[in-house]
Structure 1
Amino acid sequence: MRVPRPPRLPRLPRLPALAPPTFSGRLHDARTATSLGRWLGAAIAVCFVTGLTSHYLQHPPGWLADVLPSRPTWGYRLTQGLHVASGIAAIPLLLAKLWTVYPRLFLWPPMRSVRHALERLSVAVLVAAAVFQLFSGLLNTVQWYPWPFSFVPVHFAVAWLLVGAVVLHIAVKYPEIRAHWSRRSPGTLELPAADGPDRRSLLTGVAAAVGAVTLTTVGQSFTPLKRFDLLAPRHPDHGPQQLPVNRTAAAAGLAGVSTVHWRLTVLGKDSYQLTLDELTALPQHTVTLPIACVEGWSKSADWTGVRVRDLLERAGARPGSAVRVVSLEKRGAYRVMEMGSDYAGDPLTLLALRLNGQVLSLDHGFPARIIAPNRPGVLQTKWVTRMEVM
């Protein structure tokens, strides 16, 4: 008896061999990448230095708290404005740089030597860190956080990772960068002369894009350009009493404040309490100070209130004392704030009761808020109810 043969399975079609893609487009060359890299590197350097300044002013370690200066009054406004402006300007630079170098991502074999492996590693970390930093920072300016982690510590940590990747990348690519830094650089490689006009056109277009995004956003902090403030999430004149607000009273869980029951408590050697009428009856001082927020907007205003150092002296505080300030809001990372001695003792630091000649609106911290020079906006505590001599 013959055993029937099993049916023959159809032969699968043979897949074509995969080959790395080839690129014939122009301007994906080292000279163009180096030209864009200079601009991008400068923007990242400014963004990193000003970001460190912002972080340590906002979250000073204990040893630094009494060292941070309260002058110049416009210091934080300048550094944070530069931080956000340079970060936004770096976005079109990064996109142009990635467009120039992306064919190198498909080089085969991916690692030809130890030096080449380091180069590829530095590029991978550099691109990932740069994309994360710039776009997460951009989302922070509009206060949108579509991620489960805390923005500030992660943004700070990745900033160091980005700078380390930049340093490693420059070290590995230094011979090529040096060869293409300028037309007069020793060892400059000859490239097709026909690429010159196209390269200039590309760089001109990128410069125009950087100028456009800067011009339409920097007015939120550099108020002489506020009429061009079209793309920034804040306009310096829009908000209660012609001043923007980040955290409203409703967001803080405050439907209103009863002046009948509200008291300012100052704790120290000679603790005391004041009603709003008693606080208003104390000597009032008016100062012109900017309020500058980490999201990049800032504006100067006239603030009227009682000097913090006068309130602390009345509580028996010694010269050079720091202060802890507590808000009425029940939740929030900044409902409790500490000021070092330089801020607390500065005659410009006020417990403000009025803004531009008007009683503070609830969204601006009624009945009383802190205003201090050279200080991040998140630390200008609103709805103050208690001050503690430290």
Structure 2
Amino acid sequence: MTASKVAFDPFSEEFFNGPWEIYRRLREEAPVYYNEEYDFYALSRHEDVAAAYKDFETYSSAYGLDLSTVRSNEPMMAKMIIMMDPPEHRQMRSLVNKVFTPRAIEALRPMVTETIDRYLSQVESERFDVVRDFSALFPVQVITQMLGVPEEHRRQVGEWVDITLAREPGQIDMSEKGMQAVGELMGLYYNIIQQRRGEPRDDMFSRLIAAEVEREDGEKESLDDFEIAGFATLLGGAGAETVTKLVGNAAVTFARNPDQWQKLLDDRSKIGAAVEELLRYEAPNQYNVRRSMREIELHGVTIPEAKPVFLLTGSANRDPEAFTDADTFDIDRDRTEAQNLGFGYGVHSCLGAALARMESAIALERLLDRMPRYEVLFDECKRVAAQNVAGWSSVPVRVLN
């Protein structure tokens, strides 16, 4: 009896429900995988994914981030930093770096802590949903407060972000409702930016308006309204989703590995390492899509020019060639073994990584206080079905005495 050929469909129920076995087979049997139905390639080994993230001249971001946009073969008109290649990307990154300094992020700690405490104080003491009652709520509040979105619009921003990312099994393109949500979100941000140009405040919108970078010819350049709105849209989506999924994944992963939860209860100084291991073990962002800018020869396979190429971060972070006991969740693992790709790599390494790490660490600390002993009601858990995102939309827990 011949074994079935490995099949990778990033729009399938099987993928949404945990693709670890598919990833293993891809790495072993088809490290450069071709999907005939959707006409894309996928890289799954750590060495190849890390190299592709760094090689922006071969694997371009300028055509979008998902299969729908990349296969259209048209460079993206939207001025989003994540959809740019150097040198344009370098210029934009140096501008936004000015408002994302380590000091600026650290200054947000009291606001982040207060927001997390506020939401966690509202949950039921004996039973609550870690995602629906907690991690789906506070990250969008943090991001929108930081940007300067008025309080009455903050929850709406979170709803719009969810609509843009949602995908039914088999759905590739953003839904009509998703397109509408992007338009509404950009419109809201555009109006706020107009207000801040007239009346600056102590928020990120005002700082992005004020930021200037010197070009090679000595001229000063600043961001226009659409660039700022695009950056805010990206920040709201990526920032809120990453932390929401990471904290939900944490509740499930620690329930399955109670010895690791005990390590944190015994030594809170390991929380930072736990966040890194959660990012490696089940990264909220499972893949990014690039466009091949030339013909590529890899592992005996030819990737033609102008094809979508999936960089499978989630698979790379479980590669046993890169990490010892890669499928084991171990918060004490040696961090120097290989690059954790959970926040990307190269020029597009996540700009908001420091903020996401801070939020996740504070949330973990508060959950250790709130539920030192707990069980997940696995029969009631629900997986998320969303573009390139892995995680849970519902994780009910029972707090034990």
Structure 1 and Structure 2 fold alike (TM over 0.5): no
| Higher CA-based Rg | 1
TM-score range, shorter chain: under 0.3
TM-score by length of 2: 0.24
Larger relative contact order (Cα-Cα within 8 Å, sequence gap ≥ 6): 2
TM-score by length of 1: 0.24
